[in-house]
Amino acid sequence: MNSASSSAPRRGFVRDNALSLAFGAMLILTLIGQSIFGEVGYNQAARTAGLQEISWLRYVTSSSFAVDIAENWQSEYLLFTLFILLTIWLVQRGSSESKKPGEEGTDSDEKQLVDEHAQPDSPLWARVGGWRTAVYSHSLLIVMTTIFVLSWSAQAVAGRVANNEERMRDLLDPLSLPAYLASPDFWGRTLQNWQSELLAVGSMTVFAIYLRERGSPESKPVGAPHEETTSDD
């Protein structure tokens, strides 16, 4: 009865996964809110143009809604793809978002716990070596890049359909996919989202040098010196 296992606090699924569940719930709520207000805005524009209004279900399956979702998702995944990649080789002294200066690079096998340095409970593909360990060593970047490419492609396809619907209402010829990819509409949507994401992460990296949030893993300890980077001893 006095063993460590019996005295350890019991943890449930919700508590152990509270962060991902909270973000998942907020994602669903924001998607619902976006769909509701998006339909209202779409129908307001339709009334102004003397066009037929559409139902909520038709709106959430429309190209207009799809392109709005896809352009946001692709910019988010681009942001994390770049951040994962750049933080391997680039550092910011004093930032909790950076490795310690001098630790740039992919680290040794010993530090990464792969091949003969793997632990008994390490993931299988970290222990087996060869191409599987090589793939698993970059699996996060591979998945993030894949999602970015897929969501950007979805933005291109849905954006072209939505843009051509507007062009047809204005009695203009529809654009082919290559023509839309070179259009101001596509790049305006894309760059608008990219710059906001880059601003957010860049400012967070710098703010984390001088500002603190007690108890957050994204912040250094409140009393830590400004020049101390996360991995400093």
pLDDT-based confidence at residue 170 (cuts at 50, 70, 90) = confident
Give the pLDDT score at 164.
92
Give the pLDDT score at 24.
96
Looking at every residue in the chain, the average pLDDT score rounds to 89
Give the pLDDT score at 46.
87
Give the pLDDT score at 22.
96
Give the pLDDT score at 1.
44
The full set of domain ranges for the chain reads 1-61, 62-233
| The model's pTM | 0.84
**At residue 217, does pLDDT exceed 50?**
yes
Give the pLDDT score at 8.
53
Q: Virtual CA dihedral for 23, 43, 150, 24, nearest 10 degrees? A: 10
Mean pLDDT, range 166-186, rounded to an integer:
90
11 or 13: which leads in pLDDT: 13
